[in-house]
Amino acid sequence: MNLRAAVDGFIAHLGTERGFSEHTVRSYGSDLAQLVAFASERGATQPGELDLELLRDWLWHSSQRGLAKSTLARRAAAVRSLTAWLARTNLSAADAASRLKAPKPDHYLPRVLTREQMDAILGIVAGRAISDDPVALRDCAIVELLYASALRVSELTGLDRGDVDQGRLTVRVMGKGSKERIVPFGVPARAAIDDYLRRGRPALAPDESAGSPLFVGARGGRLANRTVYTLVSTLLSGVPGTGPAGPHTLRHTAATHLLDGGADLRAVQEMLGHASLGTTQLYTHVSTERLKESYRIAHPRA
């Protein structure tokens, strides 16, 4: 089996047996396709011909192209997973990337909205929904649920009608790695979802079975992630602040507001679906920075 075919087998393995998300599988596939081309130029066309020197050279050339540290880290992770799999399946005699290192990605504090900014955005979508326009009703429910449950955009668009328990105020979410979790939401989100289901969704899609999509597009099919990105980025375009303006900003905001309000860190970890507590701890740094800024502004002896 040549290297290209081996990489194809590895990518298929990630999707079917490891349960990686479509986004991760696509990113790894793109990275490793470039590795195959790089290796081929240097005469390495078989899995066993990958060695540490070649892999280090590939990462170095990637860095010279100006790729971000986060991209280099992902490429290193992809190739480490590949060579471990090649060794495990006896397609290679050794795990060539076991000692491969990449620069640690820069860590930036995420963009987080203040409570006043979040209230203003929720007021905008609620005001639009008064018109009874089905898309406005849907968009209001989307923003309320994103903020209430701190969902990823793919988790939101993947919801079916039967995943929402309006009586218990919970939603069943399929997260990364096909891991299911139950996430709470509040009364305002329930009201927005109720309005959308009663007055908005029937105008967009006739299918109201439990297995049908919760959020649908103008043609009645499952809502695309891009539509949610466009909605949220437009709402955030007039809000002061730096950093990415998309659905993940509402997730960051919800997590930070929970911790600001005294929520337990492990409870927030479970709600967000983070595999590592360290990932959730990022939001404690956000809260600390916000406290420091408030102190600098308000305290006479700051």
For CA atoms 94, 96, 97, 98, give the dihedral sign: positive
In terms of C-beta distances under 8 Å and separation of at least 24 residues, what long-range contacts does 220-225 make, across chains too?
222/157, 223/138, 223/157, 224/157, 225/153, 225/154, 225/157
CA atoms within 13 A on the CB side of 89: 15
Supply the pLDDT for residue 137.
97
Q: Is residue 256 scored above 80 in pLDDT? A: yes
Burial of 130 (0-12, 13-18, 19+ CB in 10 A): exposed
The model's pLDDT over 208-242, given as tens digits with 9 standing for 90+, comes to 888 899 999 988 899 999 999 999 999 998 887 65
Task: Name the active-site residue from 28, 147, 196, 283.
Answer: 283
Q: Is residue 270 scored above 90 in pLDDT? A: no
The mean pLDDT of 247-270, rounded to a whole number, is 87
Q: What are phi and psi of 174, to 5 degrees?
A: -100, 110
**Between the CA of residue 195 and those of 30, 101, 188, what are the distances in Å?**
42, 52, 11
Helix, strand, coil share (%) of the chain residues, nearest 5: 60, 5, 35
Given a contact cutoff of 8 angstroms between Cβ atoms, the answer to whether 217 and 204 are in contact is yes
Residue 190 annotated among the catalytic residues of the structure:
no
Residue 107 annotated among the catalytic residues of the structure:
no
Of the two residues 108 and 1, the one the predictor is more confident about is: 1
Residue 251 annotated among the catalytic residues of the structure:
yes
The mean pLDDT of 63-73, rounded to a whole number, is 86
CA atoms within 13 A on the CB side of 207: 16
Task: Name the active-site residue from 138, 190, 201, 248.
Answer: 248
Task: Name the active-site residue from 176, 181, 199, 290.
Answer: 176
Residue 248 annotated among the catalytic residues of the structure:
yes
Supply the pLDDT for residue 246.
85
- pLDDT-based confidence at residue 207 (cuts at 50, 70, 90): confident
Residue 201 annotated among the catalytic residues of the structure:
no
CA distance 229 to 207: 25
CA distance 91 to 163: 42
Residues, the chain, total? 302
Supply the pLDDT for residue 294.
59
- Across all residues in the chain, what is the average pLDDT? 87
In percent, the amount of the chain with pLDDT more than 90 equals 57
CA distance 72 to 64: 11
The model's pLDDT over 12-21, given as tens digits with 9 standing for 90+, comes to 998 777 777 7
The structure's pTM equals: 0.68
Supply the pLDDT for residue 191.
96
3 state SS of 32:
helix
Residue 222 annotated among the catalytic residues of the structure:
no
Task: Name the active-site residue from 75, 138, 190, 251.
Answer: 251
Name residue, tokens 């990275």: 31
Tokens of 185: 């939401």
The mean pLDDT of 113-119, rounded to a whole number, is 92
Q: What are phi and psi of 239, to 5 degrees?
A: -95, 125
The model's pLDDT over 137-194, given as tens digits with 9 standing for 90+, comes to 999 999 999 999 999 999 999 999 999 999 999 999 988 777 889 999 999 999 999 9
Task: Name the active-site residue from 111, 152, 190, 201.
Answer: 152
